[in-house]
Amino acid sequence: MKNAEPVASHDLSAALGFLHDRRSVRAYTARDVPQALLAQLLCAARAAPSGANLQPGRFIQVSGTARETLSNALIHRVRGGHEEREDYGYFPRPMPMLLRKRQVAAAQALYGALGIARGDEAGRAAQFERNYRFFDAPVALVVTIDAAFGAGGYMDLGMALHGLQLAASAVGMGSCAIGALASHADTVRRVLDLPEDQHIVCGVALGWPDGDAPVNQTFTERAPLHTWFDVRDGLPPASPE
Ligand SMILES: Cc1cc2nc3c(=O)[nH]c(=O)nc-3n(C[C@H](O)[C@H](O)[C@H](O)COP(=O)(O)O)c2cc1C
């Protein structure tokens, strides 16, 4: 391994720019993604660390009639108001106020970019349905994990997912994870003929960003560093034995 010199502070933002530049992309051009390029991005994702190098999860590309049938089935379920059991829990229930505020801010960023007003239920529903068309991206992926994995496996898979998104961003492509898919896990399994022991984690849309699309002007913020970084230096006050 070569000796890595620390990056000078003035170079730091340039060096880490690809991390800061990645954003969720929800509209794409029709430009094709060659399978060889997709394979390279997936190899980058696969480079992610994982506990005991177990490398959990699978990325399943859905295309052609499989994709069309899947999208149609999911939209049918959504329009019918059908609820399905999720394979894994995601959001805290109930949602604490601080997190609820972040959720609302993210929704406002999205719907604000699209010019969808607060009470415009039809506009929101139409955008929500776009999740199930993988935002018409040239590449649609379904991410699964073996049901036997616990939270650690999901953590590992999340790192691979981030790797995929960063790799895409680094070559000028865009992506969006689609957790909405996990709300209809049984439908995804049924249409794609996946076994019951494959849990549905999320979808991924991948392709070349449509720079003119208003939805791609969605900008989210991050919580101040001190709210999720803390230092313990020294011992807590002595507690009675
Ligand atoms: C696991 C996961 C699931 C997500 N699911 C959805 C989704 O279903 N629909 C959507 O529009 N965005 C989805 N997103 C994108 C988030 O809304 C987005 O990452 C967040 O608002 C931060 O914005 P940024 O990605 O542009 O930085 C998801 C992101 C992650 C990591």
Residue nearest to atom 30 of ligand 1 (CA): 177
pLDDT of residue 14: 80
For the four alpha carbons of 164, 165, 171 and 173, in that order, the dihedral sign comes to: positive
Is the pLDDT assigned to residue 239 strictly greater than 90? no
Rounded to two decimals, what is the model's pTM? 0.94
pLDDT of residue 74: 98
How would residue 4 be classed by pLDDT, with cut points 50, 70 and 90?
low
127 CA closest ligand 1 atom index? 11
Q: How far is the CA of 55 from the centre of ligand 1 (A)?
A: 23
Ligand 1 lined by 166 (C-beta under 6 Å): no
Ligand 1 lined by 131 (C-beta under 6 Å): yes
Residue-wise pLDDT tens digits, 30-86: 999 999 999 999 999 999 999 999 999 999 999 999 999 999 999 999 999 998 999
Q: Is 215 left (phi over 0), alpha (psi -120 to 50) or beta?
A: alpha
201 CA closest ligand 1 atom index? 1
Which residue did the predictor score with more confidence, 57 or 4? 57
pLDDT of residue 126: 97
C-alpha distance from residue 94 to each of 87, 97, 194 (Å): 18, 9, 31
Q: How far is the CA of 95 from the centre of ligand 1 (A)?
A: 17
Residue-wise pLDDT tens digits, 206-237: 999 999 999 999 999 999 999 999 999 988 78
Q: Strands 174-178 and 198-207: what pairing?
A: antiparallel
Ligand 1 lined by 220 (C-beta under 6 Å): yes
Residue nearest to atom 13 of ligand 1 (CA): 178
Ligand 1 lined by 176 (C-beta under 6 Å): yes
Q: Among 124, 176, 199, 221, which residue has the most ligand 1 atoms within 8 Å of its CB, making it the best to mutate? A: 176
Ligand 1 lined by 113 (C-beta under 6 Å): no
How would residue 5 be classed by pLDDT, with cut points 50, 70 and 90?
low
Is the pLDDT assigned to residue 177 strictly greater than 90? yes
Is the pLDDT assigned to residue 204 strictly greater than 80? yes
The answer to whether residues 60 and 195 touch, using CB atoms and an 8 Å cutoff, is no
The backbone torsions φ and ψ at residue 88, rounded to the nearest 5 degrees and listed phi first, read -145, 155
Q: How far is the CA of 10 from the centre of ligand 1 (A)?
A: 30
pLDDT of residue 175: 98
pLDDT of residue 13: 79
Domains along the chain with CATH numbers: 24-89+131-211 (3.40.109.10)
User: Rounded distance, CA 214 to CA 110, Å?
Assistant: 9
Ligand 1 lined by 179 (C-beta under 6 Å): yes
